Structure 1
């Protein structure tokens, strides 16, 4: 199902929601919303999926498509136990107004960190803390969006996951975010070394009082309902090849970062991966 509208622009949130609702409405499938899966176990060749309200579902095959945006990653921060300021993750950020007049440190070097810092700039005293200088990537090289180039060159589907994981995080920008940081006086500093009761200690040893530390530190895959199934490694990550579990029969994954290519975690790539996983699950007994 193609996304409606001008393909050379980024859709707004409500447009994405409307697209997903329309997509769901045309499916010949039973959709159970507000249903939290607490466990999925394989018993005598059949998957038994248990929900938090006590319901059970059974199936020959199971696809874990829960992604990772429900599990914000909060790194270990030295001194966190004694920190008296507020520590938030980007997942908790909504609007800049609650931070008006505050001293805020935004930690992270990707698009989320930069955009949040730019939004906070007009109402707060903001520093962007990163481990290395911000890497800027033009959004429209040679007049076309970067994602257009990824599709046309085939990089969108190329199996480059391991290589891409080694690249530094970059900020996709058409110039507005970099200008916003400069225009609103948002400075960039090397990441703080520890937290204190009042704020942070910077890399040069300087201590500073801070009201809020906002962590734009990404997300991590989490499949607690598959614990004990043998489908996860020691770090809780899926053991798979191209989305098909290699240690557990009848199990597939969809929506993992770089699962089969650059676009695996996006709306334009997930359908291709889903078809790939389903075709292989169908072949297996």
Structure 2
């Protein structure tokens, strides 16, 4: 069975909900297809101690402030899931869950979205699939030789299962720092980073990062000098648990290892470390497999965009993947503006 609507939004996490909010405000018929069984997007799969980088009032989707979490300045994942669940209900967003999108094809004046529950034909598609389903593992020599356990950020839950073990945490970003801090005191942690850790000033949180990313985007759009964006400030937001571990001397990073061995790691200077576990906090890539048939990807795997609109397929918008689809668009506070812009562009397309 093939159904028809004006817009199909693929993904029901924070970016998909922000898109739905703005489409609904413009009176555009749409459906949000989500592979998850419950609301909350990727927040359902994070580790137990994860906290937002910003207070609740600076971590909101358009139209509704996130309420504060009692006793917590920086809300946890469960609080975010509750907020997203309420948001979806409050705005009666048309989310269909448990729907897996396999491909998007051109079909004359439409885009055809193939799913395991039948096809949809739409005048436009918004991709809000995120990155959580595409963990990145670097091609480190010896990775297949290591006899211990290896897992990625998305598989980490809490430090209890690593009590007393020797754990190598690889990655100098927020997830690497947070997980290394989480494990400190319960496991023997070796933290490995590509370059020395760069902490943002302790008083900087997600709101400041959003403002900085927006200022950079504005400067580039106006032809002014590149300010460097968020990366110029540092790599790690010093949220309280990370700050405490750092100040206690528990977050001393070693340079990037040169290879894994059967029993641990080795560095270029010949130094070694034994390990039971390696946790790869090495990031993610955009989950864009459903768009392979459109042949839009460039050499780095990204789809070229102007704002959120795909350059070579103007009926497709990409939302929530980071600065290349809108300043700080992978964050709760940052996704609202590009979602609004995408909805307005689509409204113009539908009127044409």
Give the TM-score normalised by the residue count of structure 1.
Answer: 0.88
C-alpha distance in structure 1 between counterparts of 2:133 and 2:126, whole Å: 17
Q: Which structure 2 residue ranges, 5 or more long, are not aligned?
A: 1-62, 221-225
Partner of 1:179: 244
Quote how far apart the aligned CAs of 1:173 are: 1.0
C-alpha distance in structure 2 between counterparts of 1:47 and 1:181, whole Å: 50
Equivalent position to 1:270, from 324, 331, 335? 335
Distance 1:146 1:186, change over 3 A: closer
Alpha-carbon contact 2:191-2:251 (below 8 Å) kept: yes
Secondary structure of the equivalent of 1:259? helix
Distance 1:23 1:35, change over 3 A: same
C-alpha distance in structure 2 between counterparts of 1:45 and 1:261, whole Å: 27
Quote how far apart the aligned CAs of 1:54 are: 4.5
Pairing 1:105–2:168 present: yes
Deviations 1:77-112 (A, max 9, x none): 111122212111111100101111111110111121
Compute the RMSD of aligned alpha carbons: 2.4
Equivalent position to 1:5, from 67, 74, 87? 67
Equivalent position to 2:265, from 187, 194, 200? 200
C-alpha distance in structure 2 between counterparts of 1:220 and 1:16, whole Å: 23
Partner of 1:82: 145
Equivalent position to 1:247, from 277, 293, 312? 312
Secondary structure of the equivalent of 1:251? strand
C-alpha distance in structure 2 between counterparts of 1:175 and 1:269, whole Å: 22
Alpha-carbon contact 2:178-2:241 (below 8 Å) kept: no
Equivalent position to 2:299, from 227, 231, 234? 234
Secondary structure of the equivalent of 2:82? helix
Quote how far apart the aligned CAs of 1:36 are: 1.0
Secondary structure of the equivalent of 1:225? helix
Deviations 1:187-236 (A, max 9, x none): 42111100111111123212332111111111111200000203322333
Distance 1:102 1:34, change over 3 A: same
Alpha-carbon contact 2:319-2:326 (below 8 Å) kept: no
C-alpha distance in structure 2 between counterparts of 1:12 and 1:176, whole Å: 13
C-alpha distance in structure 2 between counterparts of 1:168 and 1:209, whole Å: 34
Deviations 1:24-81 (A, max 9, x none): 1133442111111010111111111111x24111111100011112211111111112
Secondary structure of the equivalent of 2:133? coil
Alpha-carbon contact 1:190-1:203 (below 8 Å) kept: no
C-alpha distance in structure 1 between counterparts of 2:332 and 2:163, whole Å: 35
C-alpha distance in structure 1 between counterparts of 2:106 and 2:147, whole Å: 46
Quote how far apart the aligned CAs of 1:182 are: 5.5
Query: Mapping of 1:273-284 within 5 angstroms?
Result: 273-284=338-349
C-alpha distance in structure 1 between counterparts of 2:206 and 2:175, whole Å: 18
Partner of 1:155: 212
Query: Mapping of 1:11-30 within 5 angstroms?
Result: 11-30=75-94
Alpha-carbon contact 1:137-1:173 (below 8 Å) kept: yes
C-alpha distance in structure 2 between counterparts of 1:259 and 1:134, whole Å: 24
C-alpha distance in structure 1 between counterparts of 2:207 and 2:241, whole Å: 20
Pairing 1:67–2:124 present: no
Secondary structure of the equivalent of 1:81? coil
Pairing 1:39–2:103 present: yes
Partner of 1:139: 202
Q: Which structure 1 residue ranges, 5 or more long, are not aligned?
A: none
Give the TM-score normalised by the residue count of structure 2.
Answer: 0.72
Distance 1:124 1:193, change over 3 A: same
C-alpha distance in structure 1 between counterparts of 2:93 and 2:243, whole Å: 45
Distance 1:236 1:176, change over 3 A: closer
